[in-house]
């Protein structure tokens, strides 16, 4: 690793936080040649962001580690709103479900970032040779604009410097003014057993310390945080406003007689301020408290002086707000104080070669538990697109959809955070005549509305080459499946495997492996008219130049680029998979017929009836065809009889793999 001859890599990721790791996981699953570097010497072990939306859990599950987060996390079921009564004493005024019932098979949970990084790292190690290279700092970046449209070129040149262990250890000691020795960043009192390997690796950094190397890359991701070096090199900026609010955050094992300490609570006191309670794993509770600048440092304006804040200041504020209940602690896990701006990046990519994601393109307050989720979902949106382009399966046109789709989400996030923070920071209204105070009815409504946004399920991507909504040359027929909504993620109900009667949540079949899915809903195939349509579709799919064959490389498995899944609505016992044409249950010389492609909407023995056709409002005597993106978002809904439009959809951006032919 000298500094002389450059090495090539298809994708270089800068930053191994959740956004960078999500990208690396996609590339690992898709078999792409990639590197991921981070200037810190170790992953984080506690503290930091920790809310997980139900959509994020669905995504984790698509990478096979949803259950790890689900088992280790604290589940939040209910939000309790506490407000002053007419005597000024706080009372529980409302209970709201934390996750809106029915929107997902998961509910919002809390687990600290260190564990989530561990899941990603294990997933990457399980399927690839990609390893996070820690203590590595990029020092120079060049993009050769003359090469950006050449799909085989390496237009990006990056210099990387390998740090010593000392340089790579962030200085995150306490900022407290009173000399208290609790650290507010990486401290290791509660290391998980599977993290010890990390520490051993960190101590090996010095072997390569102070060497430099040059890397040439086809694509690059800057997931390097709010102070992104990659963003600075590109000359891109964030737009928005900073706030005066300083927030204190305290992670403690509380000793308290407050009865809702294991609920998520928003507590507004009459005149001592507000606290947000977030119950966490391992008996911990997080308290968020707004500490106004004027109260604590004399209001020097602009960026406030956070050095006056320490755990004592925060707990004392909590005690005032939560009186007459008592709260104290003997175990302190982590604390911090922050002041944050609400800003969005002007551009999310340079020539669709260098991309920015996560805090590098949106910063905001952490209270709604959104930041880590939206950051991971940025690269969940991007990863499969880059992978498919690098692998030569798709042309570069799909890369433009990253900024189109994610910048809008970032803007919605900032608006949500702005509204939510203002409401939360406000003083409760004393009565209906108190116009400066915040009406608790308004607050509750905002919370309920916010919950839908905060679940991550409401994401609705715009029309593009990969979302055949109105305005695109490819036309969908949304009315054939009104509840499988174009641009939104595929909803899930239980279906049964035709071959073995096992119930699966439909989403469980949509693993994140880079594949597109064509979902055929043929309706009631015990009706001859429907089975006839299935036979016709089977014929078209079996042709040598069908989209199933044309876009799949020679020698690759039949379902490795586009996977055909079927859920029919005839009684399970009325058919077998051999009643369907072979295209629906392909044959392999070694493994025989594929028993895992045909499903049925029917009663299970132990887990009820998913009612897919009724839930999605699909007519059993019409049926439909749905195209599902590799990230589970819906591209297209159309008639069962219309093979041509499905073929046409893929033809607009996929690259034919048949020798001598191209689109």
CB under 8 Å to 631, separation ≥6 — which residues?
Answer: 380, 381, 384, 489, 512
Catalytic residue among 84, 254, 366, 491: 366
3-state helix, strand, coil in the chain (%, to 5): 30, 25, 45
β-pairing, 34-38 vs 7-14, is: parallel
Closest CA to 418 of 335, 341, 482, 330: 341
Catalytic residue among 288, 402, 633, 636: 288
- Smallest gap from Cβ 369 to a copy of itself, in A, equals 16
For residue 307, CA distances in Å to 169, 310, 332 come to 21, 8, 19
Nearer to a copy of itself, 152 or 500 (CB): 500
Q: Is 105 a catalytic residue?
A: no
Catalytic residue among 134, 231, 264, 280: 280
Contact 459, 107 (CB under 8 A): no
Nearer to a copy of itself, 48 or 498 (CB): 498
- Smallest gap from Cβ 394 to a copy of itself, in A, equals 30
Catalytic residue among 38, 50, 224, 647: 50
SS3 category, 318: helix
Among 382, 577, 600, 625, binds a copy of itself (CB under 8 A): 577
How far apart CA 626 and CA 490 sit, in angstroms, is 10
Interaction of residue 95 with a copy of itself, rule CB under 8 A: yes
- Smallest gap from Cβ 576 to a copy of itself, in A, equals 4
Interaction of residue 589 with a copy of itself, rule CB under 8 A: yes
Contact 17, 120 (CB under 8 A): no
Neighbours of 594 (CB within 10 A): 19
Contact 186, 45 (CB under 8 A): yes
143: Cα separation from own chain's centroid: 28
Nearer to a copy of itself, 97 or 639 (CB): 97
Among 138, 254, 369, 487, binds a copy of itself (CB under 8 A): 254
SS3 category, 208: helix
How far apart CA 591 and CA 378 sit, in angstroms, is 37
Q: Is 50 a catalytic residue?
A: yes
- Smallest gap from Cβ 198 to a copy of itself, in A, equals 18
Among 149, 173, 204, 255, binds a copy of itself (CB under 8 A): 255
- How many residues lie near a copy of itself (CB under 8 A)? 48
Contact 315, 290 (CB under 8 A): no
Interaction of residue 571 with a copy of itself, rule CB under 8 A: no
Tokens of 221: 């991701």
Interaction of residue 152 with a copy of itself, rule CB under 8 A: no
Contact 601, 569 (CB under 8 A): yes
Contact 56, 377 (CB under 8 A): yes
Closest CA to 480 of 523, 525, 509: 523
Interaction of residue 578 with a copy of itself, rule CB under 8 A: yes
Interaction of residue 261 with a copy of itself, rule CB under 8 A: yes
Interaction of residue 308 with a copy of itself, rule CB under 8 A: no
Among 499, 567, 625, 646, binds a copy of itself (CB under 8 A): 499
- Smallest gap from Cβ 64 to a copy of itself, in A, equals 9
Closest CA to 116 of 33, 23, 189, 44: 44
- Smallest gap from Cβ 120 to a copy of itself, in A, equals 17
Site string for a copy of itself, 48-87 (x = CB under 8 A): -------------------x---x--xxxxx---------
Interaction of residue 592 with a copy of itself, rule CB under 8 A: yes
Stretch that binds a copy of itself, among 420-428, 522-530, 592-600, 647-655 (CB under 8 A): 592-600
Nearer to a copy of itself, 283 or 303 (CB): 283
Q: Provide long-range contacts, Cβ within 8 A and 24+ apart, for 528-536.
A: 529/621, 530/620, 530/621, 530/623, 531/579, 533/623, 533/640, 533/641, 534/580, 534/581, 534/584, 534/640, 535/581, 536/641, 536/643
In the region spanning residues 314 to 333, those forming contacts with a copy of itself, defined by CB under 8 A, are: 330-331
The per-residue DSSP string of 249-315 comes to EEEEEEEE--TTTTSEEEEE-SSS-EEEEEE-STT-EEEEEEE-HHHHH----SS--GGG--HHHHH
Stretch that binds a copy of itself, among 26-34, 152-160, 455-463, 500-508 (CB under 8 A): 500-508
Q: What residue ranges in 428-505 does DSSP mark as E strands? A: 494-497, 503-505
In the region spanning residues 599 to 638, those forming contacts with a copy of itself, defined by CB under 8 A, are: 604-606
Specify the residue for token string 């029919």. 568
Nearer to a copy of itself, 131 or 422 (CB): 131
Q: Is 280 a catalytic residue?
A: yes
How far apart CA 208 and CA 377 sit, in angstroms, is 33
Q: Is 633 a catalytic residue?
A: no
Nearer to a copy of itself, 265 or 646 (CB): 265
Among 31, 33, 72, 97, binds a copy of itself (CB under 8 A): 97
Tokens of 447: 């919370």
Interaction of residue 491 with a copy of itself, rule CB under 8 A: no
Nearer to a copy of itself, 107 or 425 (CB): 107
In the region spanning residues 213 to 232, those forming contacts with a copy of itself, defined by CB under 8 A, are: none
Nearer to a copy of itself, 75 or 391 (CB): 75
Q: What is the contact surface with a copy of itself in residues (CB under 8 A)? A: 67, 71, 74-78, 95, 97, 99, 101-102, 107, 126, 193, 253-257, 259-263, 279, 283, 330-331, 497, 499-503, 573, 576-578, 589-593, 595, 604-606
| Residues belonging to the active site | 50, 280, 288, 366
């Amino acid at each position: 690793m000298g500094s002389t001859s450059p090495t090539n890599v298809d994708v270089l990721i800068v930053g191994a936080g959740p956004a960078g790791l999500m990208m690396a996981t996609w590339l690992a699953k898709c078999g792409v040649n990639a590197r991921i570097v981070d200037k810190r010497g170790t992953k984080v072990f506690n503290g930091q962001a920790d809310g997980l939306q139900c959509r994020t859990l669905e995504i984790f599950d698509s990478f096979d580690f949803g259950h790890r987060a689900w088992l280790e996390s604290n589940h939040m079921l209910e939000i309790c709103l506490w407000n002053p009564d007419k005597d000024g004493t706080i009372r529980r005024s409302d209970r709201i479900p934390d996750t809106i019932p029915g929107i997902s098979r998961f509910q919002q949970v809390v687990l600290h970032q260190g564990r989530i990084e561990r899941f990603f790292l294990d997933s990457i190690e399980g399927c690839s040779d990609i390893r996070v290279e820690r203590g590595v700092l990029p020092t120079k970046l060049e993009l050769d604009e003359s090469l950006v449209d050449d799909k085989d070129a390496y237009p990006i040149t990056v210099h990387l410097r390998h740090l010593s262990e000392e340089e790579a250890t962030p200085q995150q000691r306490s900022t407290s003014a009173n000399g208290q020795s609790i650290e507010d960043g990486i401290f290791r009192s509660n290391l998980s057993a599977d993290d010890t390997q990390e520490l051993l690796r960190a101590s090996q950094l010095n072997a390569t310390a102070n060497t430099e190397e040059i890397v040439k890359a086809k694509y690059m991701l800057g997931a390097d945080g709010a102070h992104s070096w990659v963003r600075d090199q590109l000359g891109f900026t964030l737009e928005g406003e900073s706030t005066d609010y300083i927030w204190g955050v305290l992670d403690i094992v509380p000793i308290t007689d407050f009865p809702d300490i294991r609920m998520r609570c928003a507590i507004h006191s009459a005149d001592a301020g507000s606290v947000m309670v977030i119950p966490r794993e391992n008996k911990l509770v997080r308290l968020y408290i707004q500490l106004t600048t004027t109260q604590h440092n004399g209001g020097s304006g602009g960026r406030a002086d956070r050095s006056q804040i320490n755990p004592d200041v925060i707990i004392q504020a909590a005690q005032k707000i939560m009186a007459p209940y008592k709260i104290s602690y003997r175990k302190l896990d982590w604390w911090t104080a922050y002041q944050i701006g609400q800003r969005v990046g002007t551009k999310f990519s340079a020539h669709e070669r260098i991309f920015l994601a996560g805090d590098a393109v949106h910063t905001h307050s952490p209270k709604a538990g959104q930041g880590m989720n939206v950051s991971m979902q940025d690269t969940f949106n991007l990863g499969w697109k880059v992978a498919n382009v690098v692998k030569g399966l798709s042309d570069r046109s799909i890369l433009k959809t990253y900024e189109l789709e994610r910048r809008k989400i970032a803007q919605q996030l900032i608006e949500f955070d702005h509204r939510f923070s203002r409401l939360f920071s406000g003083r409760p209204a004393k009565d209906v005549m108190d116009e400066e105070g915040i009406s608790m009815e308004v607050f509750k409504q905002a919370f309920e509305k916010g919950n839908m946004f905060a679940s991550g399920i409401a994401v609705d991507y715009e029309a593009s080459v990969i979302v055949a909504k109105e305005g695109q040359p490819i036309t969908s027929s949304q009315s054939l499946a009104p509840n499988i909504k174009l641009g939104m993620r595929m909803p899930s109900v239980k279906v049964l495997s035709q071959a073995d009667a096992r119930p699966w949540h439909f989403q469980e079949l949509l693993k994140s492996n880079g594949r597109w899915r064509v979902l055929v809903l043929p309706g009631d195939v015990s009706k001859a008219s429907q089975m006839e349509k299935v036979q016709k579709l089977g014929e078209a799919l079996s042709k040598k130049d069908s989209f199933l064959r044309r876009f799949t490389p020679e020698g690759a498995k039949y379902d490795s680029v586009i996977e055909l899944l079927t859920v029919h609505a005839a009684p399970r016992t009325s058919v077998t998979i051999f009643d369907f044409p072979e295209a629906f249950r392909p044959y392999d010389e070694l493994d025989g017929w594929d028993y895992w492609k045909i499903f049925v909407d029917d009663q299970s023995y132990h887990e009820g009836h998913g009612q897919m056709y009724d839930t999605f409002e699909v007519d059993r005597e019409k049926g439909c065809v749905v195209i599902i993106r590799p990230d589970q978002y819906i591209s297209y809904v159309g008639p069962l009889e219309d093979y041509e439009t499905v073929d046409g959809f893929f033809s607009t951006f996929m690259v034919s793999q048949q020798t001598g032919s191209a689109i």
